[in-house]
Chains A and B, each alone.
Chain A
Amino acid sequence: MSGEPILSVRDLVVEFRTEHGTVRAVDRVSFDVFPNETVGLVGESGCGKTVTGLAILGLIPNPPGRIASGSIRLAGRELVGLPEGELRKLRGREMAMIFQEPMTALNPVFTIGSQMIDILRRYKGLSRGQARAAAIELLAKVGIPAPAQRIDEYPHQLSGGMRQRVVIAMALSCDPKLIVADEPTTALDVTTQAQVLEQIVRLQQEFRMAMILVTHDLGVVAETCQRALVMYCGRVAEKADIAPLFAHPRHPYTAGLLQSLPRVGQQAHQDLPVIPGMVPDLLDLPAGCRFAERCARRDARCDRELPELDGEADSPSRVACFHPL
């Protein structure tokens, strides 16, 4: 990793008010993202990975949600507490988001061309003709065949994979420093997913962007990220470079997740190792380690105390466990 991080998240806490009380969806999460790298945020539903991504973009719906404390710095600039108007200027130019469902980002009543040209004119001050040429070039970059024709089509005329490419092209259109991609290929079929992931990796390198990839799929993380944070119940359980994370997971939760995956080519008809039980309710969290009741390495201390990430803040591998593997 080189130089200064492009994004620095410190002790981020995001809370949501619900009928039954306040839920802490993200609980003191810290990490950095450097230029030209992809960091994975992995975990199961409700672990806080998506909320973390939304918080970075300033997209937490308020009410019911709010960033309760912590700091998010993009290229040195503090984003927490920034007025909505300022954030809106940053979104698109400095940072962009790719959602799971491409139709959430596309307007069905306009052609993809008019939507892209709009963005390019507003943010880059291009003329209509220049913007159209730039849009066609971007569509070609994300691998859309016959972009000069496709640009005049409506979103419904494109397949799911093509739509997601258009969204990626739109996200790239203003050369953002950071892209947050939230399950960008989860709604796609495997062969299409392979195409789009390959494209994302290639573009990320070409544009030398920083990217945060939010996903539940450990396979996708292994193939696209350099580093990852494994989240559980709003907290970071473990963070590490990809190779050691998969070869020697230190948190029992990470290890359990990896073991419970059926793998192509593995001996079939044997029971899969499971993580017993289920994720605790965020409204009714245990006092100690949140993974304790599902953990084989649990002892009395785990029930009493909440483990913090070990080691130095900038060390490459950290785990929040009293009895790591």
Chain B
Amino acid sequence: MTPLLEVRNLKKHFPVRGGLLRRVVAQVRAVDGVSFSLAAGQTLGLVGESGCGKSTLGRAILQLQRPTSGEVLLDGTELTTLDPRGLHAMRRSMQIIFQDPYASLSPRRTVAQTIREPLEVHGIGTPAERERRVEELLGVVGMRTAVMDRYPHEFSGGQRQRIGIARALALDPKLIVADEPVSALDVSVRAQVLNLIARLQREMGIAFLFISHDLSVVEHVSDRVGVMYLGRIVEMAPAQELYRQPRHPYTEALLSAVPVPDPTRKARRIVLGGDVPSPMNPPPGCPFHLRCPKVMETCRSVTPPVVEVGTSGASHQVACHLHA
């Protein structure tokens, strides 16, 4: 079965200009060689700390930021080389949900205008059909149609995120990139939105790339999880396997650092020293070796290859010399 989304050796580097002539003096390697595939109707979670490149990866896949190199195939169509018209047509199949429900909706558009816009841009349906579609979408995300003529400032964060989700659903996309969709929401509202996303996936068969810094949220929604560090995926496995048997020392440390809401479970915490190095000047060898508690000599000079360590039949990949 061909996957819905296939990403091959994707890179996104941002030039850093400096000096009198504004010449390129360095490159920020935000995404530095990422490969994975995602089947229709599945959710891939991407976790990592700020600056690891997870959001840039999401945008590079959607071609919101054109990648520096590599390939992105959606339903077999290579996106990185598409002309603007071809890309416009493909955008029907891929949508994004943003983190900040306060910044991602236009304050001057009513709910109905916001949700209808993608239909208008792509010339779908008659005005009456669009109206019906908006009503239907509001129902799907659990909002009453009475809110159609209201403006975003009249809603709470959770409701705004529902409006953003309704807009993303308008074109029946096959893939949704959800970039920290619940991070700005309060705990009690977060669970409502997470359940909504899970239900949409079950009922509509949409594939999600779910980007978050919150490991417990990612585990809850994902079939597979990829862990990013300095622009690369250092480990990728089925969600439960990754959480039960992390193989990469960074994944282990990340999991152990999550505060657990259970005072009886005193965590055996792996506290990492130092900070994430700058993606402008990544260290040679393994990107994690400066902070790794299990660092070996080879890690300092040789980039670890991605190896398959899966035992349960499902793929479990890790880029670490301990397993090479």
- Which residues in A have their C-beta under 8 angstroms from that of B244? 265
Which of B21-29, B89-97, B216-224, B297-305 makes up part of the contact surface? B216-224
Minimum distance in angstroms from B291 CB to a CB of chain A: 8
Closest 3 CB pairs of A and B: A219-B259, A262-B220, A189-B49
Q: Once the chains bind, are A268 and B240 in contact (CB under 8 Å)?
A: yes
Q: Mark A255-269, 1 if CB is under 8 A from B, else 0.
A: 011101111111011
Q: Mark A150-173, 1 if CB is under 8 A from B, else 0.
A: 000000000101100000000000
**Do A258 and B188 contact each other (CB < 8 Å), given the known contacts A194-B269, A264-B215, A278-B156?**
no
How far is A268 from B241 in the complex, measured between Cα atoms in Å?
12
- Which residue in chain B gives the minimum CB-CB distance to A272? B191
Interface status of B243 (Cβ within 8 A of chain A): yes
Minimum distance in angstroms from B144 CB to a CB of chain A: 13
How far is A109 from B275 in the complex, measured between Cα atoms in Å?
23
Q: Once the chains bind, are A191 and B253 in contact (CB under 8 Å)?
A: yes
Interface status of A218 (Cβ within 8 A of chain B): yes
Interface status of B281 (Cβ within 8 A of chain A): no
A172-196 with Cβ < 8 A to chain B? 189-195
**Do A274 and B258 contact each other (CB < 8 Å), given the known contacts A192-B275, A242-B263, A264-B216?**
no
**Do A263 and B261 contact each other (CB < 8 Å), given the known contacts A195-B271, A268-B239?**
yes
**Residue contacts A-B, CB under 8 angstroms, 17 given:** A145-B274, A190-B257, A191-B253, A194-B259, A198-B269, A217-B259, A221-B261, A222-B259, A223-B263, A246-B262, A246-B264, A260-B187, A262-B220, A264-B215, A268-B240, A272-B191, A279-B186
How far is A106 from B263 in the complex, measured between Cα atoms in Å?
33
- Which residues in B have their C-beta under 8 angstroms from that of A221? 261
How far is A124 from B222 in the complex, measured between Cα atoms in Å?
54
- Which residue in chain A gives the minimum CB-CB distance to B218? A262
Q: Once the chains bind, are B191 and A247 in contact (CB under 8 Å)?
A: no
Among candidates A219, A261, A264, A272, residue contacting B243 with C-beta atoms closer than 8 Å: A264
Q: Once the chains bind, are B257 and A191 in contact (CB under 8 Å)?
A: yes
Which of B116-124, B192-200, B203-211 makes up part of the contact surface? B192-200
- Which residues in B have their C-beta under 8 angstroms from that of A258? 261
Among candidates B191, B194, B220, B257, residue contacting A193 with C-beta atoms closer than 8 Å: B257
- Which residues in B have their C-beta under 8 angstroms from that of A264? 215-216, 219, 243, 255, 258, 260
Inter-chain pairs besides A189-B213, A262-B219, A263-B260, 11 sampled, C-beta below 8 Å: A189-B50, A222-B261, A243-B263, A246-B264, A257-B187, A260-B190, A261-B191, A261-B261, A264-B258, A266-B216, A268-B221
Minimum distance in angstroms from B153 CB to a CB of chain A: 14
Interface status of A101 (Cβ within 8 A of chain B): no
Q: Once the chains bind, are A44 and B188 in contact (CB under 8 Å)?
A: yes
Interface status of B228 (Cβ within 8 A of chain A): no
- Which residues in B have their C-beta under 8 angstroms from that of A75? none
Q: Once the chains bind, are B259 and A261 in contact (CB under 8 Å)?
A: no
Among candidates A45, A198, A272, residue contacting B220 with C-beta atoms closer than 8 Å: A272
A200-221 with Cβ < 8 A to chain B? 216-221
Q: Once the chains bind, are B258 and A190 in contact (CB under 8 Å)?
A: yes
- Which residues in A have their C-beta under 8 angstroms from that of B253? 191
Binding site for A on B (CB under 8 A): 49-50, 156, 158-159, 186-192, 194-195, 198-199, 213, 215-217, 219-222, 239-240, 243-244, 253-264, 267, 269, 271-272, 274-276
Minimum distance in angstroms from B256 CB to a CB of chain A: 8
**Do A193 and B243 contact each other (CB < 8 Å), given the known contacts A268-B220, A274-B188?**
no
Interface status of A312 (Cβ within 8 A of chain B): no
- Which residues in A have their C-beta under 8 angstroms from that of B262? 222, 246
The count of residues in chain A whose C-beta lies closer than 8 Å to any C-beta of chain B is 47
How far is A57 from B274 in the complex, measured between Cα atoms in Å?
33
- Which residues in B have their C-beta under 8 angstroms from that of A279? 186, 188
Interface status of A271 (Cβ within 8 A of chain B): yes
- Which residues in A have their C-beta under 8 angstroms from that of B195? 271-272, 274
- Which residues in B have their C-beta under 8 angstroms from that of A219? 258-261
Minimum distance in angstroms from A282 CB to a CB of chain B: 13
Minimum distance in angstroms from B225 CB to a CB of chain A: 10
Q: Once the chains bind, are B186 and A44 in contact (CB under 8 Å)?
A: yes
Q: Once the chains bind, are A159 and B215 in contact (CB under 8 Å)?
A: no
Q: Once the chains bind, are A190 and B49 in contact (CB under 8 Å)?
A: yes
- Which residue in chain B gives the minimum CB-CB distance to A221? B261
- Which residues in B have their C-beta under 8 angstroms from that of A161? 275
Minimum distance in angstroms from B186 CB to a CB of chain A: 4
How far is A290 from B134 in the complex, measured between Cα atoms in Å?
34
Looking at A197, A218, A222, which has the most chain B CB atoms within 10 Å of its CB? A222
How far is A275 from B194 in the complex, measured between Cα atoms in Å?
13
How far is A223 from B158 in the complex, measured between Cα atoms in Å?
28
How far is A197 from B263 in the complex, measured between Cα atoms in Å?
15
- Which residues in B have their C-beta under 8 angstroms from that of A273? 191
Minimum distance in angstroms from A58 CB to a CB of chain B: 28
- Which residues in B have their C-beta under 8 angstroms from that of A198? 269, 271
Minimum distance in angstroms from A203 CB to a CB of chain B: 15
Q: Once the chains bind, are A45 and B186 in contact (CB under 8 Å)?
A: yes
Minimum distance in angstroms from B182 CB to a CB of chain A: 10
- Which residues in A have their C-beta under 8 angstroms from that of B263? 222-223, 242-243, 246
How far is A94 from B38 in the complex, measured between Cα atoms in Å?
57
Minimum distance in angstroms from B57 CB to a CB of chain A: 17
**Do A274 and B192 contact each other (CB < 8 Å), given the known contacts A189-B49, A223-B267, A246-B263?**
yes
Q: Once the chains bind, are A194 and B158 in contact (CB under 8 Å)?
A: no
Among candidates A162, A194, A216, A222, residue contacting B186 with C-beta atoms closer than 8 Å: A216
Q: Once the chains bind, are A197 and B215 in contact (CB under 8 Å)?
A: no
- Which residue in chain A gives the minimum CB-CB distance to B155? A278
How far is A40 from B102 in the complex, measured between Cα atoms in Å?
29
Minimum distance in angstroms from B49 CB to a CB of chain A: 4
- Which residue in chain B gives the minimum CB-CB distance to A260? B191
Minimum distance in angstroms from B116 CB to a CB of chain A: 26
- Which residues in A have their C-beta under 8 angstroms from that of B258? 190, 219, 264
How far is A277 from B194 in the complex, measured between Cα atoms in Å?
15
